[in-house]
């Protein structure tokens, strides 16, 4: 850990289970992630991830999308809530809302998302089902900077897994999720250590090199430094 860089203030947005949130909480607890999780915000009051955050002593908030007339009003309330915590990075961890352009622009270059597919393949929902239907031999998960295009921003890091003939949505989702839990703490660490950024031309840059392709975390490999 670089003692010269203070922990990065982070706000994490969730909608449900929060297993990716948990992987981030655990990495911070293990001293493997130089961030301070200032708050976890959910758009669903019943999201299980809120309990995970509370158990870890993290401040939680709910901005219930059902209480707002439209996306713009919800996003404005969400942004106001986030701003109270002054994050250097907003982490979407299973946050199941499409965000307005204004919101995305406000956090341009400082908002990451995780998606359960090998982007740019299979943006959107039901990725595991769609991978099985197309007969793909490979599947995986991606971390990307958030831009206006849904699941369309520059991809930073991916993990790939083979798709087996006997796979079901359940088995595939479980194996992808294991990879997700490796990917997110690593990408957040790169950002917190100021190794990862989005440049002025909208490209992801790692250690000063423009990423024309995402870094691939293989199944066997230990996480790279
Ligand atoms: C993950 O598969 C993530 O990639 C997707 O939604 C799911 C959230 O799972 N965006 P969890 O809430 O982190 O357990």
| pTM: predicted TM-score of the whole model, two decimal places | 0.96
| Residue 90 tokens, joined | 């907003």
Tell me how far the alpha carbon of residue 187 is from its chain's centroid.
9
Give the strand pairing for 89-92 and 60-62: unpaired
pLDDT at 168: 98
Looking from the CA of residue 176, the nearest atom of ligand 1 is 2
115 is an active site residue: yes
Cβ atoms 40, 30 nearer than 8 A: no
Question: Which residue spans within 83-178 are E strands per DSSP?
Answer: 89-92, 111-115, 138-145, 155-162
Structure tokens given for 218: 């293989």
In short, whether 17's Cβ falls inside 6 Å of ligand 1 is yes
Catalytic pick among 105, 106, 115, 128: 115
By the 10 Å C-beta count (0-12 exposed, 13-18 middle, 19+ buried), 35 is classed as buried
Unique residue bearing structure tokens 């998960």: 141
Q: Is the CB of 140 under 6 A from ligand 1?
A: no
In DSSP terms, 92 is beta-bridged to 13, 113
pLDDT at 218: 78
Picking from 217, 194, 186, 206, the residue whose alpha carbon sits closest to that of residue 30 is 186
16 lines ligand 1 (CB under 6 A): yes
Measuring from atom 1 of ligand 1, which residue has the nearest CA? 94
Determine the pLDDT at residue 221: 54
pLDDT (0 to 100) of residue 219: 66
| pLDDT tens for the 225 residues of the chain, in order | 566 679 999 999 999 999 999 999 999 999 999 999 999 999 999 999 999 999 999 999 999 999 999 999 999 999 999 999 999 999 999 999 999 999 999 999 999 999 999 999 999 999 999 999 999 999 999 999 999 999 999 999 999 999 999 999 999 999 999 999 999 999 999 999 999 999 999 999 999 999 999 999 976 655 555
Q: What is the pLDDT of residue 224?
A: 58
Residue linked to tokens 């831009």: 147
Query: Does 19 sit in the ligand 1 pocket, CB within 6 Å?
Result: yes
Taking only the tens place, the pLDDT of each residue in 35-89 is 999 999 999 999 999 999 999 999 999 999 999 999 999 999 999 999 999 999 9
Peptide bond into 120 cis (omega under 30): yes
């Amino acid at each position: 850990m670089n003692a010269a860089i203070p922990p990065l203030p982070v706000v994490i947005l969730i909608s449900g289970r929060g297993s990716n949130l948990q992987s981030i909480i655990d990495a911070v607890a293990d001293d493997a992630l130089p961030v301070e999780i200032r708050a976890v915000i959910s758009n669903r009051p019943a999201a299980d991830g809120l309990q995970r955050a509370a158990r870890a002593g993290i401040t939680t908030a709910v901005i219930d999308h059902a209480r707002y007339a439209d996306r713009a009003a919800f996003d404005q309330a969400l942004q106001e809530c986030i701003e109270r915590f002054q994050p250097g990075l907003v982490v979407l961890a299973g946050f199941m809302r499409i965000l307005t352009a204004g919101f995305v622009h406000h956090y341009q270059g400082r908002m990451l998302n995780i998606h359960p597919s090998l982007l740019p393949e299979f943006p959107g929902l039901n990725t595991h089902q769609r991978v099985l239907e197309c007969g793909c031999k490979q599947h995986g998960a991606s971390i990307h900077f958030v831009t206006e295009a849904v699941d369309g921003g520059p991809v930073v890091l991916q993990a790939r897994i083979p798709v087996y003939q006997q796979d079901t949505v359940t088995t595939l989702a479980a194996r992808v999720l294991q990879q997700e839990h490796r990917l997110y703490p690593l990408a957040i660490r790169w950002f917190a250590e100021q190794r990862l950024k989005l440049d002025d031309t909208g490209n992801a840059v790692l250690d000063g090199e423009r990423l024309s392709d995402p870094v691939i975390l293989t199944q066997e490999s230990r996480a790279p430094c």
